[in-house]
Amino acid sequence: MRNKTVIIAVVNRAYVEQSVNAETTMLDLFLESFWLGEDTRPLLDHLLLVAVDQTAYDRCMFKRLHCYRLVTEGVDFGEEKVFMSRDFIKMMWRRTFFLTEVLRRGYSFIFTDTDVVWLRNPFTKLSLNETDDLQISVDKYFGSRRPEHNLINTGFYYIRSNKKTISLFDKWYSLKDNSTGKKEQDVLLDLLRHGVVTELDLRVRFLETRHFSGFCEDSKDVGAVTTVHANCCRHINAKVRDLTAVLRDWKRFKAALTKYPKAARNITRSFGWSRHYGCLNSWKSQTL
């Protein structure tokens, strides 16, 4: 964008190829949300898809998107990386290193997981002044500005490129080899809770789940919700199933508003999301 802001998402083969039991792919759901969302279609011009394997890169190019092939020698990131598995953690750290390099080059960015559907333009809900360095989503919102009171989620955040944020990412990545059993999100949470905000004079804003929601805590306000993240979920197939339901609910809501514009307030007040049964059941089995 004019202010050197980009939108970045990372994909691998498991997110771009349709499994036997799925009706669509995670990437297709992600892109579909930009089509269905309010004021979101133009944002695709500013989306960079970072592919961590050749299949994902080829699919990205086939869709005529902005694509970047991130190569990691000797590692296959193509298969699904189950939440908290060793390869999952390794892939998250590779992502962090890449994003640090983006900041170094002077680009601010929204990072978004591809299991986040965009229902409205998030820039209308983000602080666009120069004072906030990091605006990050949370699994549950407690209404506090204090880092120790928030469960951050690195699946969606907006960060400005400056000396403070580059130092934060450098410090974050430097802890990679001293964080056995922790995902990169846990390490960042530890940093935020133990003084790095004061140390680097950072201004951090924790985003309300009313606007930036997820399966951990659904937004109760469909009139304000901006993104929905399939967090608190273990497998891709479960995420695809439940995000498909989210988009179906969204289309149902928008159709009702179009058909009965005078009843918009009642339609909004009575709206309810479908239950996330796929993700709820994903924790019951340790196998795919």
**Digit-coded pLDDT (tens) for 166-183:** 999 999 988 887 766 677
Calculate the alpha carbon distances from 257 to 81, 144, 265 in Å.
Answer: 39, 34, 9
Q: 253 or 75: whose pLDDT is higher?
A: 253
Q: What per-residue string of b and e applies to 187-197 under the rule 16 or more CB within 10 Å gives b?
A: bbbebbeeebb
What six digits make up the tokens of 170? 């450098």
Helix or strand or coil: residue 111? strand
Q: Exposure of 282 by Cβ count < 10 A (0-12 exposed, 13-18 middle, 19+ buried)?
A: buried
**5: part of which helix (H) or strand (E)?**
strand 5-11
Q: Which fold has domain 5-214?
A: Spore Coat Polysaccharide Biosynthesis Protein SpsA; Chain A (3.90.550)
Predicted structure pTM score: 0.91
Provide the pairing of β-strand 212-214 with 204-206: unpaired
Q: How many residues does the chain have?
A: 288
Residue 158, beta-bridge partner list: 110, 135
For the chain, domain boundaries: 5-214
Q: What is the pLDDT of residues 34-52, one digit of tens each?
A: 999 999 999 999 999 999 9
Q: What is the pLDDT of residues 143-154, one digit of tens each?
A: 888 888 889 999
Model confidence at 268, pLDDT cuts 50, 70, 90, reads: very high
